Each structure stands twice: as structure tokens, then as C-alpha cells.
Chains A and B, each alone.
Chain A
Amino acid sequence: MGGDASDPFEEFVRDRSEYLFQLALLLAGRNQADAQDLLQVALERAWRRRRAIARDDNTEAYVRRALVNASIDRWRWLRRRDERSLDAAEPGPAGGDPASLVARRDELIRALAALPPRQRAVLVLRYWEDMPEAEVARVLGCSVGTVKSQASRGLARLRELGRNSAGHGVRQAEVGRSDG
């Protein structure tokens, strides 16, 4: 495993790691440490299968799917737990910018982070990646109908949150944790 500069997998990582990290960041609810964990897990899985996935010329699709699966796995692991970090690593508001636009975006991202992971993944892939519903369904291994319903429910929760937050601010508890 020498430092082969022409290794296609390494080239892929070099070219796409920023995009993949940003995807991981959204899937991890903007938690940097969790995003790095997710990226590491997904890339390690891809590394182990790099020859097979390179043959199919689908490295990015494989890693993207691995990231989504890792985020869902992580949530399953943690779903029964509700402790907070001793080192208080919770993501917080974005720097306390008073501008309403920044505050509104921050609310949305925190609300997104509180959605169930599959619902969050649908919204991230659909609206950040701008993927067609059929492609989202392929990545998530579900039907187009499921993607539509998950997106609809996720957006409805965000809208509901927007209404509630107009006068009272955001409370993550209102978003709930029902899985979809």
C-alpha cells in the first residue's frame, strides 16, 4: 500500500473529499467530529472494495451510499440514548449573528439535524445534492414513493417548525424523533 500517486481511489478522495465531507456534515447534523467519523468509516469501506467499485466506475455513488448508511447505523446505535457529552460537543447557533436570515438558516439546519436520519438523508440528497427522486431512491435502497413521502413529511416538519419559531424560537423537542 505504498504511496502510489496514480491510485485512482486516492485521486478520487483527493478530488472529492471536500464534497463528501460536506455531505457527511449535513448527514451528521453539522457535528464536525461525527462527520469526520462518518467520512472515515465510509472511505474505509470503499477502500476495502476499491478495485471492485472502480471496475464499475461508481466510486462516488458507493461512498455516498456508505455515508448515508453509516449515518443511519450511527443513529440506530444512539437512538435509545439521550445523554449529553461531558465535553459539551453539541452544535450550537452559528456564531450568534443577529441577522434574521442567518438565524432562520440556523434554525432550519438544527431542525434538519433533529429529523430521523433517513428523512434527513432524503432532504439532503434531494435538496442539497439536487438529485432526482429516482436517484435518491437508488442511493437509499427504497422506492420512489418512499422518497416522496419522506421528503413530504420532512418538509412538513420544517414548515411546522418555521411557524412555531416565528414567535417562540426553535425547540428541538418539537421536531420529535419519530422514524420514517
Chain B
Amino acid sequence: MADIETELRDAMAAAVAGARPPADVIALVRSGHRRHQLRAAAASAAAVAVVLAAAAAIAAVRGGHSRPEGGGTTSAPASSAHVTASPSLSPPPPGWVQHADGAGDFIDAPRGWHVSGLPALVAPAALWVVGTGPVPNGGSCAPTAALRKLPADGALYAVMEDGSADAPYIFPPRGRRLGLGPLGGPTECWGVKTHLLLFEDGGRYFQVQTVFGPAATASIRAQVRRSINTLRIAPGPAREQPAALCRGGRWTYCPQAAWVYRVIRAAHVFELGNLGTRAIAGLAGNRSFGLWTTKHRVGRLGGRCQLIAGTMVCHLGHRLGWRVHGLVLWLQPAASPYSTPPVGPGLPSASALRRLVEASRYVTFAAA
């Protein structure tokens, strides 16, 4: 018998001979990278919102200043992190200037900073590009002309609105305070690392991207944060508010969809858009599937059930379901709008399923 090292070499070579990766591996990596940025930003914003909500509650108990809740959504399911929408309009601080976009939206910035209301971006639509230095127009999907003029000690940020918001669940409701969002990248279009902040305000969906020069001071950073927090957004029509859309049966606008998105992220499964407003599309390996929730049913789910990660997962026809947090989370093979062969509809592999089941248990869901 040959020695074990030689046998092992031959066995490994034979085992992988001719094995080929998915043809669209580059597209998958790009998609995953983009989603990763959005996920990271959403997670950061949600965490900040939760902390601030807790702080606000403590302040209220101590008799501190309290604010009215964002209006009009009292009967809708809402995340506990949904503290407030835009602050009420007030004069800018001394030495600052208020800028309006003519549609009821406002932002304040220090006098001397440059604010372009016509950044000429094709997509997403930019409300303002603000810089400590010159802000010339130019750029198709990022203010690249202004970026080239960024002083070493300066800052540049763009407030952009995602008009389509085809994935509303990745935009957490605006909290009491906005941060800059996590630093990541180099970011798509910008070509440099940017802070990315995502939030929903008044039924509209925003991303703020911020870049600092290498010599930007803490004071500049603080001023940028303060400026971003002066954003006042005119709310969209009542019928377009997430709570109203959720009540109307558009599941991707419900807090449950935001929870599923967090579960997907925690399970290291890729989010590949959604299947209309009914389900989120996930991808693990080369298998794509839809995920959605329904209300907890009384009694057994039925089908063939098996304990996975301490949770009873049932196989009903071609779909899987399990109970968690008063919901039933469903998975079903589904073609994603972004996937191309050899990615195809299928249930997740054993390991991906375990990750999803585990994540669904430890990612909490709290409907109001």
C-alpha cells in the first residue's frame, strides 16, 4: 500500500478534479459587498436608535425634556427603536445658515461651508451635497467633482434619497440622534471609504454618505454630525407611511420584514432583494429562496418536522417553517431577481439552515 501522504495527495486531487466555481462569482461578490455595506449601516443605525431610545426613556422618567412621538401611526406595528422623525423647524444656530430644497426639506450648515442644491447626480437623487471646501457639480452617482476638491482637513457629505426604496426593511426608522454611520468601502461610485448612514423619515428613505480629509479635526467631525442632525424632512403622504403600507398588506414595509432582514444578516446569508412586497430573497451557496413571516398559528404546523438548533422545523410541501417570537418564519425555494445560473431556487444547505434557525432565535423581535 502506498504511504498515507501519497494516498492523501492522490485522493484530494481526484476529489476536486474538474470542480468549478459558480460562473457568476464576481457578481455574487459585488452583490454581497454592496449588501454588506447596507447591512452594516442599518445595524449601526438601529443600535444607535435603541441606545438613544433607552436614554430618552430614562430622561423622561427623571423629568427631563421629552418629545412627542412621531405622529399618525398609533395603531401600526412599530419598532421600539422608532423614537421620532424630523425635529420641528427652528432657526439655525448662530453662525449657521439654513438651506431649503424647495420641497419642505431643510438642513443647517456652518456659514462658509458650501452647499450645493443641484449636485446633478443621476441616482440616487441628492437633496444636498455639503462641503467645507468647494462643491462643484459633477458626478453620475456620487459627487466626484466635489470629492476631487476635498481639502485635507475638510469634509464632504451628501444627503441622498432613495426614491424607489424597494428594500424598505434595510432603512431603520430615524432615531432621536443620527450618527455618521459605519465607515466602509471604498464605496460604490465614490471610490473612497465613506461613512454610510441609512434611515427612514416620514415614509421617505435616505442615505447620507460622508467623507473626511485625512487631517480633518474632531471639531469638523462634530460639526458634520450636528449638521446632519438638523435635517428636517417633509413627510410623505399618509398612505405611503410604512405603517400604513404594512397594514395594507405590503409585508416588506412591516417590522417583521426588518426582523427577517436582521436574521438573514446575522446568519451570514446574502440578501438578494425581495420578491415584490411578499418576501425577502436570500442566497446561500448557489441556492436562492424567499423568506417571510406569518402570524403564529395555533397547533402544530404539520408536515415532517425535525429538531434543528433546538427548534422544531417543519417541512410542508416545498417549504420550511418554524415558530419563533410569536411568528412563523417561512422559507421556500424562489428565484431571486438578481441571480443568474448556476444560482437557482432551492432550500438552503444544512449549515445555512442551521444558521438561519439559530439567528432567528437570538435576534429579538418586538412589535409594539
Instruction: Spell out A's residues near B (CB within 8 Å).
Output: 1, 10, 13-14, 17-18, 20-22, 25-26, 30-37, 39-41, 43-44, 47-48, 51, 74, 77-78, 81, 83-87, 89-90, 94, 102, 104-106, 108-109, 112, 123-124, 127-128, 155, 158-159, 162
Contact = CB atoms under 8 A, between A and B. Distances in A.
A34 B349 contact: yes
Given A1-B189, A87-B347, A37 B352 contact: yes
A162 B184 contact: no
A78 B354 contact: yes
15 contacts: A17-B21, A22-B19, A32-B286, A33-B348, A36-B21, A37-B351, A47-B30, A81-B309, A83-B350, A105-B14, A109-B11, A112-B11, A127-B12, A158-B8, A162-B1
Interface string B3-34: 01101111111111001111001101110111
Contacts of A78: 351, 354
Nearest to B14: A105
8 tightest Cβ-Cβ pairs between the two chains A and B = A85-B350, A21-B21, A33-B349, A33-B285, A22-B16, A105-B11, A36-B285, A108-B11
B225 interface: no
B5 to A, nearest CB: 6
B320 interface: yes
Contacts, number: 151
Nearest to B347: A87
Contact of B9 (A34, A35, A128): A128
Given A33-B285, A87-B347, A108-B11, A43 B25 contact: yes
Interface string B335-368: 0000000000001111111110000000000000
B307 A83 contact: yes
Interface string B96-114: 0000000000000000000
